Amino acid sequence: MVTLSESGWVGDRQPTEDDVHQANQRPQVTWLHEYKASLLASMGKPVHTPRVRRLPFQQSTAMPGACTYPLQQLYDMPNLPTREELDRLRGLFIAAFGGQFFLEAYGLPGSGSEQSQLPPHLELAYATIASMALPLGHGRINVEETGRASQLFNAGARYYVIMTETDNSESRSATTVLSTSLLATYGLLCATNDRNWGESLLGWTLTMARSLRWHELDPAIASSNRCQRSGLIGYVFTVAVVHALIFGVPPLVSSRDLKTGMLGASCDIMTAYSALFSSNVDLLDSSKHPGDALILLLALISDTLFTELTCHMVQAVPDIDDPETGSAPKYPTRLIAGSAARERMEIEKWTTRALRRWRVSFTAVATQETLALSFYLELRLTYPRIDVLLWQCGYEQTLQTISGDNTAGLEVTERSARLAWLVLDHVDVRKRPHESLQAIWLPPILFHSALVIWKSQTADGQGMTGSLKALGLFAHELDALPWSCCDVMSTCLRSLQAPTAPG
């Protein structure tokens, strides 16, 4: 720690070249214990050992003003479940959600026969997702269950703040990264049609995305085996990509952040991802793990979203023919002056080739939900301005600001409409409830695909043969998912079925 000057005033101290090194040194364990104990004692309840990691936490009767930040977060806390209820929700979470490829590879803490003590924010993250999974296969979640999950999320978020503010090294531990990802999962998929909610989640996702770069620094993560490390990073990456899909913002992660090994092959993810853009398909054929198929597909989507949402998305490639001869120039394409349209055209071409190689190598091992995601990626390549449709249909959850000039000339081709139907064909929530729950990308891709069908049937589209009642098929699948955002999406789709819907 950096010491102050003799006067005690920070402005009187002269900085030295060792300040950064000293500031990043972890304090002594005894100092941390004394600091935590003094914070707890400030609530009017003297203690000798830190108990902030134990549940259920007993609130103090002292006045909130007598407590300093961050323990002020403990006041007005929601009622926490009993120990027995937390254990039951933990078992339900592991049964319903623990089969997700990356979480299964990581090995969820507390999933074994022994009931290990977990940090409170992780236990509450388990309970939050489990509360949403309770009505799985039994219809829409009711108001009481939704309120309960919201309370658990609120409590888990508060505990996360307390733990990381009291000891910042907690934010780089594997369990904290896991709990942050699970809490962000609930936050993304249970967001209401409120722009402020989406903006507040940006901070959560940014914190979670940074953990992709911290995994090499934290000893707990670096010392774990390859499967555990790949599983944790894979799930963090998944949540970050879903965040970009739901809110229409550039992803905070890219394929270059996947500096870890694959689950079913000896090579690392970045090497396998590079092979998608080359002819080295033998390297891809060595992996037969469905998690590897998913992570490579998510990397393609992440890079595609970044290109779409950071370029102007000029729809037509400018005419670059030689004005004298009227023919295309003979010099290499890389020497032509760059433009947003040409950049997008080149990336779309290479991504389409990579997707074809992905299908050759992974179609046999990928799940139905992953295949639906692959058709969605191809849909975005053929119709890159899906975020414009979010703005046009009045879905206010998107954070993307779109001007009127960008909404013209967005016709849906027959190929795009067919790809939207293929997304729906590979989703059956009622027959595959657990797999659909674990596929947290299903709500946005179903909704986006439905909007493409809506666009194709409206007056300013090409007027393809069909009916707006077909949107009910997408809404039917959204209704079967327990996430609260699906209510907003299905309600929006049903409102678009009316002939007078905005187009």
Q: Is the confidence at residue 90, as pLDDT, over 80? A: yes
Q: Residues in the chain, how many? A: 503
Digit-coded pLDDT (tens) for 388-406: 888 788 776 655 555 444 5
Tokens of 229: 């490390």
Digit-coded pLDDT (tens) for 413-424: 889 999 999 999
What pLDDT does residue 138 have? 42
More confident residue, 273 or 35: 273
More confident residue, 339 or 100: 100
Tokens of 252: 């905070």
Q: What is the 3-state secondary structure (H, E, C) of 184-217?
A: HHHHHHCCCCCHHHHHHHHHHHHHHHHHHHHCCC
Digit-coded pLDDT (tens) for 170-210: 777 788 888 888 988 988 888 654 445 544 555 555 555 55
Q: What is the Cα–Cα distance from 151 to 154, expressed in whole angstroms?
A: 5
Digit-coded pLDDT (tens) for 452-471: 999 888 755 455 666 788 89
What is the residue-averaged pLDDT of the chain? 75
Where does the pLDDT of residue 260 fall: very low under 50, low under 70, confident under 90, or very high at 90 and above?
confident
| Global pTM value | 0.78
- Each domain of the chain, given as residue ranges in start order, spans 10-51, 68-247, 254-366, 386-503
Q: Is the confidence at residue 441, as pLDDT, over 90? A: yes
Question: What are the backbone angles phi and psi of residue 152, rounded to the nearest 5°?
Answer: -65, -40
Averaged pLDDT for residues 327-342? 48
Averaged pLDDT for residues 118-134? 87
Q: What is the Cα–Cα distance from 367 to 178, expressed in whole angstroms?
A: 24
Residue among 306, 213, 301 nearest 258 (CA): 213
Residue holding tokens 């074809």?
356
Q: Is the confidence at residue 502, as pLDDT, over 60? A: no
Q: What is the Cα–Cα distance from 318 to 411, expressed in whole angstroms?
A: 19
DSSP, residue by residue, 248-286: T---S--GGG--SB-SSSSSBHHHHHHHTTSS-HHHHHT
Q: Is the confidence at residue 268, as pLDDT, over 90? A: no
